[in-house]
Amino acid sequence: MSDRNKKIIFAVFFILFSIGMGYGMYYLFFRMNAAPSVPATPEQLAGGLPSAGTGGPTVGATTTQPGGLPSAGETGAAGEAIGALPSETTKIHLLHDGITQSVAPEKDGTGARFYNPEDGRFYKVNADGSITLLGDKQYFNVDKVDWGNTKDEVIVEFPDGSNYYYNFEEQKQVVLPQHWEEFQFAPNDSKIESKSIGVDADNRYLITANPDGTEAKAIEPLGEDANNAHLSWSPNGQIVAYSDRGQISSDNQQQVIFVGQNHENFKSINTVGRGFLPNWSPTGKQILYSVYGTDSRNKPTLWVVSGEPNTIGANRRTIELNTWADKCAWTDDTTVYCAVPQNLPDNAALSRTEFQTLPDDVYRINVNTGAATKLLLPDLTHAIRNPIVTKDGSQMIFSDAATGKLYSYDLK
């Protein structure tokens, strides 16, 4: 056989072999793995959703057993916890597309109030989400605003030390002493409290007065410890402040001393950590507070104790969430919503301002059982500041710490 014929035969054989190998690979890897078609069920036709069937866990919020959080295995897709509220029920609304400061509850609990530094005016958010101007009064370059609880009234503090009381209902303005620093209204707005800081340490006092500054009364000498005294009026009006000047013990506990309006001798409490920051429940029966220490790797942790004068500090229990108490808002004496920073690093409590723009998750907590439910939110990019839950529990209103814009989440 000639070389030419050998080449032709070899070429034909190679082509046939290649075709055979190609078909074999197709049959092995594709045709055998093709899934049989399944007729659509009636629930899947016409764009509908499948039926609920026998049910199963939904993805979103987690309701834990009393006293604990879910273990690492109790999470769903993309790290979402199991047992969520449906995402359709948790909507977000932009209430004010501008900078907001000093957000506080509306006096009737149906909305919120805030200061707009861009125009120097004060506004309220109504129950339907609309915004109403409280009055024509303007204050520019305000450092801090303290709101009344039952009336539309404020005390504004300026960087130069100037202080003004203004009542929107009466359109009344009063100049308050410049040596008064920090303010808080009594629960019924009948009084205010402040720190009277004289040049001499012996002339520094915690005081109460009428909102217009009259009838000032010294409550407690401050001396050199003015920075360790913190205004915190309890809902029943008996406690007006606390001091965290107590020594830290060897087991990382610090003593917190409460100051009464009439020199009452309240029990002190010992906290597992420092940086005590309280948040009273609506009636004052309970105190939610945050502290930090080596046990928490210097992250803030939440605790709950009794807030009633005769049992203050009793029944202490922990809520295993790393956040600050002022990022929480009560709905009643049992339920509180807390914004919890995502990916909060160790030692964050030592320099809180560096992490105030971290986006937050939101948990609903039953402080009696310790059960914590993570809400499935439509937008996880907001850093929640000054959260407020409306009286009916339907809305959480908050200022975004990164942008200053005002938002609300639907809770019902």
Kindly report, residue by residue over 305-318, the tens digit of the pLDDT: 999 989 999 999 99
Rg, Å, the chain Cα set: 30
pLDDT of residue 17: 52
63-84 tens-digit pLDDT: 333 333 333 333 333 333 323 3
Residue 163 forms part of a structural domain? yes
pLDDT of residue 365: 97
Beta bridge partners of residue 288, listed in sequence order: 279, 304
Residue 375 forms part of a structural domain? no
Give the tokens for residue 68: 């604990």
pLDDT of residue 85: 43
pLDDT band with cut points at 50, 70 and 90 for residue 244: confident
Return mean pLDDT, the chain: 83
Fill in the amino acid letter for 118: E
Residue 325 forms part of a structural domain? no
pLDDT of residue 122: 98
Residue 272 forms part of a structural domain? no
Residue 199 forms part of a structural domain? yes
Give the tokens for residue 245: 């000047």
| Spatial separation of the C-alpha atoms in residues 334 and 233, rounded to whole Å | 20
12-53 tens-digit pLDDT: 455 555 555 554 544 444 443 333 333 333 333 233 323 333
Backbone φ, ψ for residue 361 (5° rounding): -90, 165
pTM over 0.75: yes
Enclosing domain of residue 149: 139-228
Residue 309 forms part of a structural domain? no
Residue 5 forms part of a structural domain? no
pLDDT of residue 77: 31
Strand order in the sheet with 172-176: 144-147, 153-157, 163-167, 172-176
Torsion angle of the four alpha carbons 179, 181, 186, 192, in this order, in degrees rounded to the nearest 10:
10
Residue 148 forms part of a structural domain? yes
Domains identified in the chain, total number: 1
Give the tokens for residue 391: 């009286």
pLDDT of residue 11: 53
pLDDT of residue 42: 31
DSSP at 353: G
| Spatial separation of the C-alpha atoms in residues 230 and 243, rounded to whole Å | 6
150-204 tens-digit pLDDT: 999 999 999 999 999 999 999 999 999 999 999 999 999 999 999 999 999 999 9
